[in-house]
Structure 1
Amino acid sequence: MKNPIATRATPEPRARATTSGEIVRMTMPTYCNHRAPRRPAHATASPPPWRRLAPLLLALGLALPAAGDETGPAAPPAERPDITIRDELTVEEQLDRAFAPEDAATATKQAAPRRLTPISLSVISDVVLHEQDARILGSALENVAGVTAHRFGGTTDVFYIRGFESLSSALVLTDGALEPEVSTYHTYNLERVEVVRGPAGFLYGGSALAGAINLVRKRPLGQRGGGVQLLGGSYGTVYGAFDYHLGSAGGAHAFRLNALYTDTDGYRDDLGNTSWALNPSYALRASDRTTLYANAEIEDGDLSSDTGLPLLGGAIPEVPRSRSYQSDLDVNERDVLRLRLDLETVYGPRFVLRNKTYLTELDQHSAGTVINGAFVFGPFEPLVARVLAGLDDRQQFLGHQVDALFDLGDGAVRHQLVAGLEVQRLADDFDLGFFNLPPIGLFNPIETARPPLVPIPGSRTTGDVETTVVAPYVLDTIAIGARVKLALGARYDAIEIDDARTGFRGDFDQASPFAALLYAPDQRFAVFANYGRSFSPPSTTVVADGREPEEGEQIELGVKADLLGGRLAASLALYRIDKEKIAIADNTGFLAQQGDQRSQGLELELSGRAGRSTLHWLFSYAYTDAELIEFRESIFNFETFTFDVFDFSGNRPAWVPDQVADLWLSKRFRNGLTVAGGARYVAERFVDEDNAVELDDYVTFDAAFAYTRGGPWTARLHLKNLTGEDYELRSFSSLAVLPAEGFNLQAGIDLRF
């Protein structure tokens, strides 16, 4: 019988389906992502120290592989490791893998079948992103079990994995490098999104106990081609995306350019957004052994803060959902720079060395109105209480990572070993303050706010934080015989934090272990279990005194299966996560509280194709039982001018529904027509940890149509929230909610060249 485990894992071809259904083969090697440790949550660049470190790290990355090239002749193609092998696939198999990829690399840093990876792992391909018109990360994550996404303050992607908020319990990575928490993640240049649900701290550090999301960007191709997307529709929205790639005749050089422009008036009054981005990338095959990848990305956003509608007496008042109570003083200007340099050298069939040097900077200037509820004063019109939150924030992450991949052993026992070291310097310079705004009428809002504003005494929080991380890590995946796979790993983080502005200093050293066991009785089924621990130093946005590291552990049991001749892939997982000293947002939206939380639940993901047809489908369901084990909150009493302490232990965390289900169907016809649609159900959820206000459950429906005659163009139509369902998302404050978009129509054309 063929060994279901010990056969070498071969990454899938980078096949991509166009809207016409034809397949474009991608020939560059599979990219295995690297880890990025968690940083303290805001960040400012202190340029000189970091800039001086960059040449040293870059030299290290270039010197090691260069030295290796002098040891002998290049490895023959037949001896190159399995990470570069490409199998020939039928058109149907290519389309299946493009719609629901079989392989992923984020969980183990080596491309491997998801069925044989002993942890819950989801992949959203660019085919699905395009078909669903998922332009930002939050839209893409609706396909993943156990994940819900929100637009925090109307400008920032915030999500929940297994009941835990991303700001304190998860990581976002771009090509394996750490991303700012206060950001919007566009998908215009993504090949796929990989989501690890469960402990990822053993490779990526930080507080990645609940999970990690890796945005894998498109890489240069060794061929000339490209395309343009042009769409427009509801709320004065205009969207354009550009993709162009070319390569040299011999295949030694390849270049790609992705670009984005989007502008919208917004579905809420006077709250438009404009963004643009540019992402050139270059690949150089220096020799048969060595490949160099360089990538630069610039993003610019002129955004509008939005804290939604105030709560009146614990309910949403009868006002237009499009009404805005934001002041005229609001502004949100955000610039992001990402630089990546990846170097991969193959020393033979059993050893690969990877180096990554990365720099990420975020510069943000914002002033946003925060709504603190609506109140009735005698016979007069209810008034909306407001303050203005001003934030100047500069973040910079500079790091280098070395990964050594070994393939050891033969016969009954085989090791796939990843050993690495991460060195990282993080900078965070921020100034946060709150200012009084005059109240505004709930039913007849007339703006009277004029500068200068009076700051609220004691509300200012500043930091000039430098964080140094040195972290070795190892993961050994052991195939024992034909049916058993054992994974053992750990990462040791040595972290130093120095806040020059507040005087806070701290050293945090701790290991994050991981152990997993997988049993595959045959080619179709695999049963797995894993255990992991993680810790994270306190975020700089935890403004409470006595900041302590967060700690947590998870145990997970699951089963994965490929059924119906590979036409149905299923994954079922049961888990429990216990986490201590979690930073929890107070009613200003910042992480001022701490508590202990437990989350346990069930997650199911199904993907497949009906028979031999081109009807594809994705389904996910999650049941989440989350509880605040110990949580007390201090709330200011405006009558006594003192703080009252409330015990909310035993309550459910805010914005965590107990059930979420999502379905997407897609059918491609021979005449060039594609018809797709889906439904999403989200159960009731609380607005705050006091569990005083509960929002209703909701169901939304989407549809999409595409048509091509086989030429260079494809017409597209997207209908979102078909029934105009009213539902709410998380606001900046727990005394307000953000109305979600109603019915939205987007139409346009794709041009290929």
Structure 2
Amino acid sequence: MQKHRSSLVCRSPLALRPLAASLVLALSGGGVQADDKVLTAVQVSARTEPEAGLDLDRPGATGSRLGLSLRETPASVDALDVETLRTRGDRSVAEAATRAVGLSFIGTPGSGQSYSSRGFTGNNSVAQAENGVRLATDAGTQTYPSDTWGYERIEILRGPASVLFGDGAVGGIINLIRKAPARERSLDTSLTGGSRGEYHVGIGGSTPLGEAAALRVDAAVAGGDGYIHRGDHDSRKLLSTLHLAPREDLQIDISADLSRENPTAYFGTPLRDGRIARNLRRENYNIDDPRYALDDDRLRARVEWQAGGGWTLRNETYRFAADRHWRNVEQYALDSAADAVTRTGYLEILHRLEQAGNRLELAHDGTLGGMRNRFHVGWEFMQVDFRHTNNSPYRGKSVVPAKDFEPGRFDSPDPTRPKFDTETRQQAVFVEDALRVGETLTLVAGLRHDRIAVARDELVSGRDFDKRFNANAVRLGAVHALTPATSVYAQASTGSDPATSLVSLNLANRNFDLTRARQTEVGVKQSLDALHGEWTAAAFHIRKDDIVTRDPSNPGISVQGGTQSSRGIEIAASIEPLRAWRIDANATVLDARFDELVEAGGASRAGNTPANVPERLANLWVSHVGAGWEAGIGARYVGRRYGNNANTLRLDAYALLDATLSWRLDPRTTLRLNLRNLTDKLYATAAYGSTQVLLGAPRSAELTADLRF
């Protein structure tokens, strides 16, 4: 098999041709006149009181590519705007996203930004994207983006998102929407200092460039000492977008970004007799010279041409690169009698991922048989080169006292060297349509077909192989407006998840096909004029087949044939019961289970709850705006979870209280005090193996100054 070359861009000229073709086609309509250089004006208004609502009339970019509002979309979609994030002090994507309906954060240093949604977990089931474009998942890992600075809003689609985003999204997708350049000059700064040496500095703004261009740049640096010993961390990022409008019907956006992050190298706290030991809350059993570094670079170009007659042509070309490096000792077991911790797993892993792709789309907004019809068709291509370097089999062992110990240095008997390369190519065609029947009924349908080819080069064993996958996804839905304020909807959809990350597919899993999932969902979305708010409710059932299980007659053999399912109810509301008072609340009740699963040794897990899935979730935020000030208090509840499929490792439910108080010194300056985990709750966010858990952050305080010019 031919080995991979280092430059993905040189090997993917086809990914650049549609962009050039779109530019030539769009510019061929005639010369550019000076008076054609017009950019759309953007109005900016200050927030003076709590704006109750779930933004149901906002056009969404995640539940559909047809420009449907959240109310018109036959699916569960949340939109969290930047003002709400600022008010609550939610700087991280995880903090912000888990205030939405039904999401819990289960990230570990190995998985990065990872979530549970509707009973399905991890980056192979709950996808993440920026402006609708996903970074490929390798070894179950997603690490970017993690900071909300520079984004306008976060949209979350729950349930299978495969019709729009392909495989690996049965539980849903989290999509971050960038702030766009504007013609008006603006400059926002945010300065934060907090307990434990925490700091965050963000600066961003837009400026016009001549008569036909605008530039937006957002930058942020952050860091601190962390909430455990030797928990220091730091990050920095730069987002930039150049917007060009050489003609009134032509828009071009070019983005270039970089991110450098060194998160806290903390892999968990060992359990004492299966329980969290409070006296070990701040202990870090990692080595004294750890490495946990994440570097991301992105380049993207998007062209949109309004061709007239309701037709729009779009093309987006991109290149992403991610470098990750871990060097740690990661597994800990506490001997209660000796009060000592045995450390194993001296592990060094490096990822090098390069992804290039192109998406070409044609959309039409017109009529069909006298009825309004919105249509969208497209083609998508992606190529990913991935190199995995490690020191497998990760040997090494040490024993340290549970308290007051010398961490020691990284010492592995195994050399770190490149182990395998993979090349993944994926092509997809997709179509979506929304037909307005009469004044009250909208029918929505979508279809996607993917073809995926993975080639793996084993650099040590030489056991190279190729594998091909095909996937189909369908969504059929209807939205009926009972009144202008109340809509009900129903939908059926299908999707697929990989049995393991396709980019890092290994020999043991090469024969496993994609899993198949199907969902049915019904719901209601309503505006409440009397309460100046909105509410939504949804009931759903998802079944995923062909998950990896053991052969019941020969438990030593892994086969596909297991089944996992989830059914539940989700409710969300945002109301203003009294002037200047706002209440945001949501709750989720799940029944998630394995219907059929046999694990090693022949043990059946049928009826058990999948690991890291809370079946009860709730969020509440109450805020009040006074004369020159605003106060808010919020609660998060995450129900009981299990750290393994056997349900023998139980993670207790927890509730967290947060509060904020802000002062508007003048229309451009706001001071904000944020308090997190007011009760100093001791809790676990996720299990890391069978003997340790990752602990959540204790009580903390931050003071932020927001300045706008």
TM-score exceeds 0.5: yes
SS of 1:313 mapped into structure 2: coil
Counterpart selection for 2:493 from 518, 526, 532: 532
Deviations 1:291-321 (CA, angstroms, capped at 9, x unpaired):
1011111000123321211123322235330
Structure 1 stretch displaced more, 328-337 or 269-278? 328-337
Structure-2 change in CA distance of 1:623 and 1:451 (3 Å): closer
Structure-2 change in CA distance of 1:548 and 1:154 (3 Å): closer
Counterpart selection for 1:621 from 568, 580, 587: 587
Q: Would you say 1:746 and 2:702 are equivalent positions?
A: yes
SS of 2:182 mapped into structure 1: coil
Q: Would you say 1:577 and 2:533 are equivalent positions?
A: no
Please report how far the alpha carbon of residue 684 of structure 1 lies from its aligned counterpart in structure 2 after TM superposition: 1.2
Q: Would you say 1:53 and 2:17 are equivalent positions?
A: no
Distance 1:596 1:476 in 2: 31
Structure-2 change in CA distance of 1:593 and 1:216 (3 Å): farther
Q: Contact (CA 8 Å) 1:62, 1:343: kept in 2 or not?
A: no
Q: Which residue of 2 aligns with 1:39?
A: none
Please report how far the alpha carbon of residue 353 of structure 1 lies from its aligned counterpart in structure 2 after TM superposition: 0.9
Counterpart selection for 1:424 from 382, 385, 389: 382
The letter for the 1-side match of 2:15 is L
Please report how far the alpha carbon of residue 647 of structure 1 lies from its aligned counterpart in structure 2 after TM superposition: 2.7
Counterpart selection for 1:631 from 597, 604, 614: 597
Distance 1:45 1:313 in 2: 48
Q: Percent identity?
A: 25
Distance 1:175 1:660 in 2: 27
The letter for the 2-side match of 1:199 is P
Counterpart selection for 2:91 from 135, 140, 150: 135
Please report how far the alpha carbon of residue 204 of structure 1 lies from its aligned counterpart in structure 2 after TM superposition: 1.2
SS of 1:60 mapped into structure 2: helix
SS of 1:156 mapped into structure 2: coil
Counterpart selection for 2:230 from 258, 266, 270: 270
Distance 2:87 2:287 in 1: 37
Q: Contact (CA 8 Å) 2:118, 2:590: kept in 1 or not?
A: yes
SS of 1:473 mapped into structure 2: strand
Q: Which runs of 5+ in 2 are unaligned?
A: 550-557
Q: Which residue of 1 aligns with 2:399?
A: 440
The letter for the 2-side match of 1:553 is R
Q: Would you say 1:704 and 2:660 are equivalent positions?
A: yes
Counterpart selection for 1:405 from 360, 363, 376: 363
Q: Which residue of 1 aligns with 2:439?
A: 482
Note the 1:590-609 alignment, pairs <5 A.
595-609=562-576
Q: Which residue of 2 aligns with 1:4?
A: none
SS of 1:110 mapped into structure 2: coil
Q: Which residue of 2 aligns with 1:319?
A: 279
Q: Contact (CA 8 Å) 2:198, 2:224: kept in 1 or not?
A: yes
SS of 1:436 mapped into structure 2: coil
Deviations 1:537-594 (CA, angstroms, capped at 9, x unpaired):
441456544433222111111111112268221111111111134479xxxxxxx997
Q: Contact (CA 8 Å) 1:169, 1:207: kept in 2 or not?
A: yes
Structure-2 change in CA distance of 1:664 and 1:448 (3 Å): closer
Structure 1 stretch displaced more, 412-421 or 379-388? 379-388
Distance 2:422 2:72 in 1: 41
SS of 2:163 mapped into structure 1: helix
Structure 1 stretch displaced more, 257-266 or 130-139? 130-139
Distance 1:133 1:516 in 2: 36
Distance 1:344 1:513 in 2: 27
SS of 1:48 mapped into structure 2: coil
SS of 1:319 mapped into structure 2: helix
The letter for the 1-side match of 2:447 is A
Please report how far the alpha carbon of residue 330 of structure 1 lies from its aligned counterpart in structure 2 after TM superposition: 2.0
Distance 2:177 2:198 in 1: 26
Distance 2:376 2:317 in 1: 18
The letter for the 1-side match of 2:231 is L
Q: Contact (CA 8 Å) 2:495, 2:517: kept in 1 or not?
A: yes
Q: Which residue of 2 aligns with 1:147?
A: 103
Deviations 1:102-146 (CA, angstroms, capped at 9, x unpaired):
331211113332111111100111011111221211101122111
Distance 1:88 1:306 in 2: 42
Q: Contact (CA 8 Å) 1:310, 1:384: kept in 2 or not?
A: no
Distance 2:111 2:125 in 1: 20
Distance 2:110 2:222 in 1: 16
Q: Contact (CA 8 Å) 1:418, 1:475: kept in 2 or not?
A: yes
Structure 1 stretch displaced more, 695-704 or 267-276? 695-704
Counterpart selection for 2:259 from 299, 302, 313: 299
Q: Which residue of 2 aligns with 1:512?
A: 473
Q: Would you say 1:387 and 2:358 are equivalent positions?
A: no
Q: Which residue of 2 aligns with 1:359?
A: 319
The alignment of Structure 1 onto Structure 2 pairs a total of residues equal to 682
Counterpart selection for 1:229 from 190, 194, 200: 190
Structure 1 stretch displaced more, 384-393 or 100-109? 100-109
Please report how far the alpha carbon of residue 90 of structure 1 lies from its aligned counterpart in structure 2 after TM superposition: 11
Distance 1:302 1:660 in 2: 30
SS of 1:50 mapped into structure 2: coil
SS of 2:228 mapped into structure 1: coil
Q: Which residue of 2 aligns with 1:246?
A: 207
Q: Which residue of 2 aligns with 1:38?
A: none
Distance 1:46 1:724 in 2: 51
Q: Which runs of 5+ in 1 are unaligned?
A: 1-43, 585-591, 635-643
The letter for the 2-side match of 1:383 is V
Q: Which residue of 2 aligns with 1:453?
A: 412
Structure-2 change in CA distance of 1:463 and 1:573 (3 Å): farther
SS of 2:160 mapped into structure 1: coil
Q: Contact (CA 8 Å) 1:114, 1:121: kept in 2 or not?
A: yes
Q: Contact (CA 8 Å) 1:45, 1:394: kept in 2 or not?
A: no
Structure-2 change in CA distance of 1:686 and 1:118 (3 Å): same
The letter for the 2-side match of 1:103 is P
Structure 1 stretch displaced more, 383-392 or 334-343? 383-392
The letter for the 2-side match of 1:633 is E
Q: Contact (CA 8 Å) 1:307, 1:733: kept in 2 or not?
A: no
Q: Contact (CA 8 Å) 1:45, 1:428: kept in 2 or not?
A: no
Distance 2:587 2:417 in 1: 42
Structure-2 change in CA distance of 1:445 and 1:99 (3 Å): farther
Counterpart selection for 1:568 from 533, 545, 554: 533
Deviations 1:175-195 (CA, angstroms, capped at 9, x unpaired):
111125430421111100010
Counterpart selection for 2:177 from 183, 201, 216: 216
Counterpart selection for 1:259 from 212, 216, 219: 219
Structure-2 change in CA distance of 1:67 and 1:625 (3 Å): same
Q: Contact (CA 8 Å) 2:334, 2:402: kept in 1 or not?
A: no
Q: Contact (CA 8 Å) 2:251, 2:303: kept in 1 or not?
A: yes
So what's the TM-score if we normalise by structure 2?
0.90
Deviations 1:587-607 (CA, angstroms, capped at 9, x unpaired):
xxxxx9975311111111112
Structure-2 change in CA distance of 1:237 and 1:154 (3 Å): farther
SS of 2:606 mapped into structure 1: coil
Structure-2 change in CA distance of 1:45 and 1:300 (3 Å): farther
Q: Contact (CA 8 Å) 1:388, 1:434: kept in 2 or not?
A: no
Distance 2:410 2:69 in 1: 58
Structure-2 change in CA distance of 1:690 and 1:542 (3 Å): farther
Distance 2:5 2:519 in 1: 36
Please report how far the alpha carbon of residue 240 of structure 1 lies from its aligned counterpart in structure 2 after TM superposition: 0.5
Q: Contact (CA 8 Å) 2:66, 2:432: kept in 1 or not?
A: no
Note the 1:52-131 alignment, pairs <5 A.
52-54=11-13, 56-71=14-29, 95=51, 102-131=58-87
Distance 1:349 1:254 in 2: 27
The letter for the 2-side match of 1:395 is L
Structure 1 stretch displaced more, 443-452 or 472-481? 443-452
Structure 1 stretch displaced more, 86-95 or 496-505? 86-95
